[in-house]
A = this chain, B = another copy of it.
């Protein structure tokens, strides 16, 4: 019978964060749940994230700023979440350089 192995979203943080770390937790037909760990990382100066699927994203530790193409800026801290519909252009303009920012994202639809 299936054994249920638990994980912890705050544990086993990557030691090297030269790049943001993307770690899949669940990958299924219509949903991908992922942990992202950032430390001072931000999106490239030019261009936008422009995704085919919807994304629900929550910051569980650290701090980050997301900017949308319409200019709206959303600052996220512990527990803050926002839903980003497919094809809504956005970028991460800031994450706290002094501490790991731990994101949980659910890509769906």
Contacts and interface: CB of A to CB of B under 8 A. Distances in A.
A106 B6 contact: no
A76 B7 CA distance: 9
A4 B109 contact: no
A107 to B, nearest CB: 9
Contacts of A25: 56, 81, 83
Contact of A109 (B7, B9, B28, B68): B28
Contact of A26 (B4, B8, B108): B108
Interface string A1-41: 11111111111000000000000011011110100000000
Contacts of A1: 69-70
Interface of A: 1-11, 25-26, 28-31, 33, 54, 56, 58, 60, 66, 68-70, 72, 74, 76, 78-85, 88, 104, 106, 108-109
Question: Which 5 A/B pairs are nearest by Cβ-Cβ distance?
Answer: A30-B30, A31-B108, A10-B79, A1-B70, A8-B79
